[in-house]
Chains A and B, each alone.
Chain A
Amino acid sequence: EAGVAQSPRYKIIEKRQSVAFWCNPISGHATLYWYQQILGQGPKLLIQFQNNGVVDDSQLPKDRFSAERLKGVDSTLKIQPAKLEDSAVYLCASSLTQEKLFFGSGTQLSVL
């Protein structure tokens, strides 16, 4: 089966610019997650969707981060404006059951 697709693979921007990441989950997976993985740390959940509704966004910095999942399939994560500390790998994952996540390869963001 096709895995979780993410794009772009890499992105370099200057601080205060905007950036968007795209994720296409595995077909049929109702739950979609965005994680932030800072170098040397484990993934941290930013937002969790169940179909097109938000289940958990408690750790999403809502003043600059936004995410949507239109039609309950693809999702985009946006940062506007970016800060230096946003440099990280942004991982998208999807799941059929909440015990097994399938991760994409991630988008590596560098903010200069």
Chain B
Amino acid sequence: GNSVTQMEGPVTLSEEAFLTINCTYTATGYPSLFWYVQYPGEGLQLLLKATKADDKGSNKGFEATYRKETTSFHLEKGSVQVSDSAVYFCALIGDNFNKFYFGSGTKLNVKP
């Protein structure tokens, strides 16, 4: 079946530190991979996506590369800001596009 596993939080970093949030997946076929972000008091919103192996999704300084050989889609940012404090969810949708599978979320706290 399909599933997503991401690192547990919370992750606490100082401003301008490097961020990595690990995500691995199990899926049949060729899923599309996503990172969604949930800022305090708001709904989830799409941060970036990659639809095939070796694709790199990027947005707002965040990047993630679809690695089929390691079934991973780790989220990275070179220099985090306080405003990046949020919960980050890794997700996949199967190649039949019928259902999203979300990871459990990783809370990021960035301190000034």
Question: Which residues of A line the B interface, CB within 8 A?
Answer: 3-4, 40-45, 48, 55-56, 91, 93, 98-106
Question: Does B98 lie within 8 Å of A105, measured CB to CB?
Answer: no
- State the total of A-B contacts with C-beta under 8 angstroms: 54
Question: Does B41 lie within 8 Å of A105, measured CB to CB?
Answer: yes
Which residues of B (75-108) have their CB < 8 Å from a CB of A?
89, 91, 93, 97-100, 102-105
Question: Which residues of B line the A interface, CB within 8 A?
Answer: 4, 32, 34, 36, 41-46, 49, 51, 89, 91, 93, 97-100, 102-105
Question: Does A99 lie within 8 Å of B93, measured CB to CB?
Answer: yes
Q: Which of B45, B100, B105 has the most A CB atoms < 10 Å from its CB?
A: B100
Neighbouring B residues of A55 by C-beta, 8 Å: 98
Q: How many Å lie between the Cα of A48 and that of B105 in the bound state?
A: 22
5 closest residue pairs by CB, A with B: A42-B102, A103-B43, A103-B44, A98-B97, A105-B43
Known contacts A56-B98, A99-B93: A104-B43 contact under CB 8 Å: yes
Question: Does B43 lie within 8 Å of A4, measured CB to CB?
Answer: yes
Neighbouring B residues of A98 by C-beta, 8 Å: 93, 97-98
Known contacts A42-B103, A56-B98, A56-B99: A103-B45 contact under CB 8 Å: yes
Q: How many Å lie between the Cα of A3 and that of B97 in the bound state?
A: 23
Determine which of A40, A48, A91, A100 lies in contact with B99 in the assembled complex, contact meaning CB atoms within 8 Å: A48
Neighbouring B residues of A101 by C-beta, 8 Å: 36, 44, 46, 100
Q: Which residue of A lies closest to B45 (CB)?
A: A103
Question: Does A106 lie within 8 Å of B105, measured CB to CB?
Answer: no
Determine which of B34, B99, B104 lies in contact with A45 in the assembled complex, contact meaning CB atoms within 8 Å: B99
Q: How many Å lie between the Cα of A102 and that of B43 in the bound state?
A: 8
Question: Does A106 lie within 8 Å of B43, measured CB to CB?
Answer: yes
Question: Does B99 lie within 8 Å of A42, measured CB to CB?
Answer: no
